[in-house]
Amino acid sequence: MAWTQQEVRELKEGRYLLLDEEPCRILSIQTSKPGKHGEAKARIDAVGLFDGSKRSVVFPVKHKVQVPMIGKRQAQVLSLTDTEVQLMDLESYETFQLAIDAESRAGLAPGAEVQYLDAMGKRRIMRA
């Protein structure tokens, strides 16, 4: 698994972290002041990149979390079916298939270039 560690206080909105073994994009971070004997806490709201579900967690600001290594890559559409698209990575020339829905299929055509995310062994088309 491709990830690094980072302290919660170093995270920013729009960046990524792993929650429940799922790469998530951070929507918001609220920090509280430390108490007399405690330490500051951070509440993180995030949304999963591949499943779209919202997650919320609370960690101490010195807690280390896993941050996924996310690759944004370009690919060319080779072929389309009703449920799948076959893509070829423009750097490594690797071919692979991704499942798509009807909404995503409308913007795709053979020969078109798309940008996709590659994280934790999963892939998703971002834009055509």
pLDDT of amino acid 109: 86
CA dist 13 → 47, 109, 113 (Å): 11, 34, 29
d(CA 115, CA 128): 6
> What is the structure's pLDDT at 48?
94
Render pLDDT for 48-87 as a digit per residue (tens, 0 to 9). 999 999 999 999 999 999 999 999 999 999 999 888 999 9
Domains of the chain are 3-68 (2.30.30.30), 71-127 (2.40.50.140)
Flag whether the pTM goes above 0.75.
yes
d(CA 4, CA 65): 8
Give the containing element (helix H, strand E) for 20: none
